[in-house]
Amino acid sequence: ALDREQMQGLKGIREFLKVRTSYDVLPLSFRLVVLDTELLIKKSLSILIQNGIVSAPLWDSKTSTFAGLLTSTDYINVIQYYCQFPHEIDQVDQFRLSSLRDIERAIGVLPLETVSVHPMRPLYEACRRMLKTRARRIPLVDVDDETGREMVVSVITQYRILKFIAVNNEKYTMLLKKPVREIGLGTYTDLVTASMSNSVLDVIHLMVKHNISAVPIIDSEGKVLNVFEAVDVIPCIRDGLYEELTASVGDALSLRPEDFPGIYTCSEDDRLDAIFDTIRKSRVHRLIVVDDDNHLRGIISLSDILKYVLLYGEEEDDIRDT
């Protein structure tokens, strides 16, 4: 019966995502900060910090087109570039946002796909595309009828989508009563961790190497002390002080903004309905799974949740098609 209820809940949510559009997820009024690609990278950092945001769409004013999304990954790329070519620090300071693609090439990382979706397409499509490209946020791009020009309407994140589900589907999320342990939600083996005394640079290298956006910081007994997130890199380099990256994780985490939402934990016995309650109430970016003594057991990322909600029990062929 638990199985049937769980499936019924998932189906309900999937149907919901098919009849709603990305546009529906947007709040009634919002502010969108779009950055011109002519801007110095250095400058872009202070703009993000001043506005209390961690990403922004880029606009190429020469061609009047959308030029991708600026995220913490781009700054991490700049840091890697600096590590590989430390004698070029003066140049790094002069880089514009338009050089980000050259930086990717120079350090040999694959450029992120500049996926976008039309705001009036079903939300389900945006979710599928997010999972497929591993994008954590997707810009909504529309075309102006009169000028034929692209317009960035907004950006939707995994968190916004999950929150939208949580707020509008309580009758379905409450059916998701199977414990996290049973549905295998999240990652429990080969966890990548660091300690307070590791340097920021050590942790950045770990995130790049394993393609993850957060590293739990644990003590010698494996108890969770904190989590270093990719976005924590932004305040570390705000003054262009790349040397500071040798500072310890402990020092870096003290730079977090005052409104930092905190880290969220859960146990392997928690159920998805409880996780949706947490998402409904708080700005969660991931859940750290701990035991009763706060020892690290696993990590549940928002992509793990989105993947489960969209794909669990779907036909394999169906997944490959879309």
Q: Which residues form the interface with ligand ADP (CB under 6 A)?
A: 136, 158, 186-187, 191-192, 212-216, 299, 301-304
Closer by beta carbon to ligand ADP, 65 or else 187: 187
* Nearest CA among 29, 61, 275, 72 for reference residue 166: 275
Transcribe 116-152 into DSSP letters.
-B-TTSBHHHHHHHHHHHT-SEEEEEEE-TTT--EEE
How far from chain centre, in Å, is Cα 210? 15
Between 35 and 218, CB nearer to ligand ADP:
218
Instruction: Please state the closest distance from residue 134 (CB atom) to ligand ADP, in A.
Output: 6
Q: Distance between CA atoms of 168 and 159, rounded to whole angstroms?
A: 14
**CA distance linking residue 281 with residue 202, whole number of Å:** 33
Q: How far is the CB of 208 from ligand ADP (least distance, A)?
A: 11
The nearest distance, CB 133 to ligand ADP, in angstroms, is 11
The two structure tokens encoding residue 22: 């990305």
Q: Which is nearer to ligand ADP, 46 or 303 (CB)?
A: 303
Q: Provide the minimum distance between the beta carbon of 206 and ligand ADP in the complex, in angstroms, as a whole number.
A: 8
Q: Is 228 exposed, middle or buried (0-12, 13-18, 19+ CB in 10 A)?
A: buried
For ligand ADP, give the closer residue by CB, 49 or 212: 212
Shortest distance (Å) from residue 214 CB to ligand ADP: 5
Q: How far, rounded to the nearest angstrom, does the alpha carbon of residue 14 sit from its chain's CA centroid?
A: 21
β-strands 214-218, 224-229 pairing: antiparallel
Minimum CB separation of residue 72 from ligand ADP in Å reads 10
Of the pair 41, 191, the CB lying nearest ligand ADP is at 191
Q: Give the position of tokens 């590989």.
A: 84
- Work out whether the CA dihedral 60, 141, 113, 39 comes out positive or negative: positive
> Is the CB of 40 or the CB of 311 nearer to ligand ADP?
311
Using CB atoms, what's the residue nearest to ligand ADP?
A: 301
